[in-house]
Amino acid sequence: MTTATVTKAPAPTGAVAGGNALAGTRTLIRFNLRRDRVRLPVWILALFLGTIATASNYKELYADPEDRANVVETMDSPAGLAMSGPRHYLDDYNFGSMLGHQMLGFMAVLVGLMSVLIITRHTRTEEETNRAELVRSTVVGRHAHLAAALSVAVLANLVLALLLAFGLSGMGIEGIDTGGSLLYGFAHAAVGIVFAAVAAVTVQITAHARGASGMALAVIGVAYVLRAAGDVGSNGALSWLSPIGWVQRTYVYVDNRWWPLLLCLVLAVLCAAAGFALSTRRDVGAGLRASRLGSPVASEALTRPFGFALRLHRGVLIGFGAGLFLMGVMYGSILGDAEDMLGDIDELQEALDRIGGANVAESFAAMVLVVITVVAVVYVVMAALRPRSEETAGRAEPLLATGLSRARWVGSHLAVAMTGGTFLLLMAGLGFGISGAASTGDGGLFLKLVGAALAYAPALWVTAGVAVVFFGWFPRASAAAWIVPVYAFVVGYLGQILQFPDWMNNLSPLGHVPQLPAADMNWTPLLLLTLIAAGLTWLGIEGFRRRDLETK
Amino acid sequence: MTKAITVSGLHKSFGKTHALDGLDLDVETGEVHGFLGPNGAGKSTTIRVLLGLLRADSGATQVLGRDPWADAVELHRHLAYVPGDVELWPNLTGGEAIDLLSRLRGGINKQRRDELIERFDLDPTKKGRAYSKGNRQKVAIVAALASDAELLLLDEPTAGLDPLMEVVFQDVIFEAKAAGKTVLLSSHILAQVEKLADRVSIIRLGQIVQSGTLSEMRHLTRTTIEAETERPATGLDGLPGVHDVQTDDGRVRFAVDGSRLDGAVRKLIEFGIRSLVSHPPTLEELMLRHYGDELAANGNSKSHSTGTTEADGAVR
């Protein structure tokens, strides 16, 4: 009897221990889906409908083969290739290859964003708010949170893939066939799952959801810049370092190669495994590194509102500054290639000269600066919405119960957002200018590029103003300020490819900035943008002074 | 005496919830005023209106002779606040948070700050996220008490503190009172308020239901008497104001209204008193008197629920 119990005992324990780490995953998946019942469908439908709308737009825009030939000419330039995809698509530019060329790289960024946000929301945010601790104290395994989050991300990506596959093949557009559409859909899923797995690693590293999603988004940014540099440069080697480059090299609707998706799968499995392994090396709620002890007293600067705000924003600002500098360096390094590429085609050079008197490198630079500014706008929105997250976290309350006025408190964060955004433009401009001047051998380009980057500063200030108006008057809708960078990106970037009407461009604050160095400097719009920024800031602060502080 | 805080007819709604429903409150300068009520009664909302963080729908409020909404910043230079649930910046140390809050208020007494950190046994070099609830609470308490504020608004300040620290807190509040500071202490820990407060206001459903000194309030309620007599005590039931008489082999126990105490004791003397114990009404009984109907409605009888937790739980 005794022996029987003894020998039997380990078996159930062993079985439980084996299943332990994932216990409760299924319940958590259902729970996550319940929490995201609005968020996920909105994401997936927006991405799906955006693609469908673009595809049907092509049919009208480029009905004539002649129009298509024209767009090939536009695309076959450094600027065109940098914001679309590899040149091989251009060989037979029908509606299908157009979709693969122009949309896939852009959509990969958005799908990646969706995946990263799903992962951080269901893992690190849960830990940071101590909700995970409560859940983990029940019968839930060590790996259940991450496994459930990854499952939801995979599920969302697969749903999007199937929607795209069936939606596109059902449209009956010439060149968009069923086989290609299937690959097109699964290319989205593959790259989305890769970035979900990347986020599974970054959420282990830092104890903050903001930092974790920031790191993962930086990976997406690097992947995008690598493929842009690779596609413009003479050999495509750099593109092979980027998962976005991989899915673009399926040459969907042209060659329909499936094997690059395998690369994505392997990378995703490796990253996810690393995520699970790293998570066992840390405590719930903690990052990989134990937090260090700090100063027992505050420095003089910290106890002033601006110094304090700067301290809170410091980490993010440094991260963005380094990222934008590198981004500028990478784009600058292909500026020389850009010049060579078209320099010897006299006709095109003449055409460009007629349009704006600018050379190829300058028009390419103007396009790059739009992308760089959008990244800086993302920082500005994050920083300008910081008062809101401080408020909802309950940290504003003790501060505003001191001699600090509401206007000064919000003002200090806005000051950091605005000067910080300008600093980011300067960093990007320096990187772009140094490496651009070096690669083209034109030293005069350095100052031109730095100045061109700084010309976007008033547009950043307007963005901060929009954010503070939401914060002051509609605090619960503060997240709506994210419309500015998303809209600016879609219009400033896609708008150039899809030829949006002028009024759409005019709605974006970035649309009013002179496109230096390709265009001439014009101070009037910059002055007006600055005045608008000042007006919006005043309006937002007045709103905040009139409303209740939200407390926990 | 001048008044540090005067509130009359204060109303505040959040959507359909009436958090404050005509609240009146007076706090004299230099007193420790207990502000008692269960969770959700409106204590924190009142304090946030007093701080100018929330705007009252109607009613008059004056703190240190100022309107807290219009004059918030100037007012804040003269008061210090400890929230019930302190949130700190994850990447700032406790010491930095203390300096930040105190200097933004207008200055810090370095010596007093260090002394308080020592007495509360706080490690000021740890980062905000590394602190437990009790330690986060200490950071806010030290920041508030290290300043030269004339008014302290404390919203359940000791939630999460251990009993040793609770004692330190009481000492510090007595010192503040001796230094002439005014304290508004919101709490549902009755023993704490009983020890510290000169006067008490009891809040219920957004209204003050009772306000006064503890002795005034005790007068309004019943004293419990337990006595051992030579002969069995009889006829006590018939006396006016005497309730719940229980006799057991020469021992008698009953409750008597404050105003009828004299008559009951005279009657008891007739039976020859061997020993006599009298319990003044505790704040718990005061509270139960005001929440008793809700407890009864929830199926709890008075005799069962004497604990604060049950009283709170029933009202929730």
In a domain, A6, yes or no: no
Q: Do A71 and A190 have their domain in common?
A: yes
Residue after which a domain boundary falls, among A267, A289, A311: A289
In a domain, A144, yes or no: yes
- How many separate domains does chain A show? 2
Q: What is the pLDDT of residue B97?
A: 94
Tokens of B93: 């140390």
Q: Average pLDDT across each block of 10 residues of chain A; the chain has 552 residues. List them in order.
A: 40 45 92 94 95 89 84 81 89 91 93 96 90 88 94 98 96 92 97 98 91 91 90 83 96 95 97 95 83 88 94 92 92 80 55 56 85 93 94 93 95 97 97 92 92 96 97 94 90 75 88 87 95 97 95 79
User: For the segment A238-294, what is each residue's pLDDT rounded down to a tens digit?
Assistant: 899 999 999 999 999 999 999 999 999 999 999 999 999 999 988 888 888 777 789
Which SS3 state, helix, strand or coil, does residue A96 take? helix
Choose the mutation target among B54, B76, B89, B104 for the interface with A, i.e. most A CBs under 10 Å: B104
In a domain, A109, yes or no: yes
Q: Do A248 and A162 have their domain in common?
A: yes
**Cβ of B104 under 8 Å from any chain A Cβ?**
yes
Residue after which a domain boundary falls, among A268, A289, A310: A289
* Residue ranges in chain B whose pLDDT is less than 70: 1, 219-220, 291-316
Q: What is the pLDDT of residue A346?
A: 57
B70 C-beta neighbours (distance < 10 Å), count: 9
Enumerate domains of chain B plus CATH numbers: 3-213 (3.40.50.300), 222-279 (3.30.70.260)
Q: A192: closest CA among A296, A118, A298? A: A118
Which SS3 state, helix, strand or coil, does residue B8 take? strand
Q: B292: closest CA among B214, B209, B234, B219? A: B209
Contact B101, A399 (CB under 8 A): yes
Q: A219: closest CA among A271, A145, A287? A: A271
Domain limits for position A517: 300-552
Both ends of chain A: CA-CA distance in Å? 58
Amino acid identity for residue B89 in this structure? W
Q: What is the pLDDT of residue B159?
A: 87
Whether the ω angle into residue A517 lies within 30 degrees of 0, i.e. cis, is yes
Q: Do A313 and A255 have their domain in common?
A: no
In a domain, A294, yes or no: no
CB contact under 8 A, B101 and A400: no
Q: Do A281 and A355 have their domain in common?
A: no
Q: Do A313 and A272 have their domain in common?
A: no
Q: What is the pLDDT of residue A342?
A: 56
In a domain, A14, yes or no: no
Q: How far apart are CA A218 and CA A204, in angstroms?
A: 16
**Cβ of B274 under 8 Å from any chain A Cβ?**
no
Q: Do A400 and A488 have their domain in common?
A: yes
Q: Do A50 and A137 have their domain in common?
A: yes
Q: How far is A521 from chain B (nearest CA, A)?
A: 43
A533 C-beta neighbours (distance < 10 Å), count: 24
Which residues have CB under 8 Å from B69's CB, separation 6+?
B52, B55, B56, B61
Contact B166, B94 (CB under 8 A): no
Q: In A, what residues contact B, Cβ < 8 A?
A: 207-208, 291-298, 302-303, 305, 308, 311-312, 315, 393-395, 397-406, 546-549, 551-552
Q: Do A248 and A310 have their domain in common?
A: no
- In A324-415 the beta strands, taken as DSSP E runs, fall at none
Q: Do A276 and A305 have their domain in common?
A: no
Q: How far apart are CA A377 and CA B248, in angstroms?
A: 82
Residue after which a domain boundary falls, among A289, A314, A333: A289
Q: What is the pLDDT of residue B299?
A: 55
User: For the segment A24-63, what is each residue's pLDDT rounded down to a tens digit?
Assistant: 999 999 999 999 999 999 999 999 999 999 999 888 888 8
Q: What is the pLDDT of residue A348?
A: 53
Chain A residues closer than 8 Å to B53 by CB? 397, 400-401, 548-549, 551
**Counting beta carbons within 10 angstroms of the beta carbon of residue A292, is it exposed (0 to 12), middle (13 to 18) or buried (19 or more)?**
exposed
Amino acid identity for residue B235 in this structure? G
Q: What is the pLDDT of residue A349?
A: 57
CB contact under 8 A, B76 and A305: no
CB contact under 8 A, B48 and A551: yes
What is the interface pTM, i.e. ipTM, of the complex? Answer: 0.80
User: For the segment B200-248, what is each residue's pLDDT rounded down to a tens digit?
Assistant: 999 988 999 889 988 787 766 778 899 999 988 888 888 888 888 888 8
The angle formed by the CA atoms of residues A399, A400 and A402, to the nearest 5 degrees, is 75
**Counting beta carbons within 10 angstroms of the beta carbon of residue A323, is it exposed (0 to 12), middle (13 to 18) or buried (19 or more)?**
buried
B162 C-beta neighbours (distance < 10 Å), count: 11
Chain B residues closer than 8 Å to A302 by CB? 92, 96, 99-100
Q: Do A284 and A412 have their domain in common?
A: no
Q: Do A246 and A340 have their domain in common?
A: no
Q: How far is A63 from chain B (nearest CA, A)?
A: 56
The angle formed by the CA atoms of residues B303, B305 and B309, to the nearest 5 degrees, is 165
The angle formed by the CA atoms of residues A18, A23 and A25, to the nearest 5 degrees, is 130
Tokens of B10: 């204060």
Distance of CA A249 to the CA centre of its chain: 21
Q: How far apart are CA A293 and CA A299, in angstroms?
A: 15
In a domain, A305, yes or no: yes
Which residues have CB under 8 Å from A409's CB, separation 6+?
A305, A387, A396, A399, A400
In a domain, A16, yes or no: no
Q: Do A282 and A321 have their domain in common?
A: no
In a domain, A8, yes or no: no
Contact B163, B180 (CB under 8 A): no
Q: Are strands B151-155 and B182-187 parallel, antiparallel or unpaired?
A: parallel
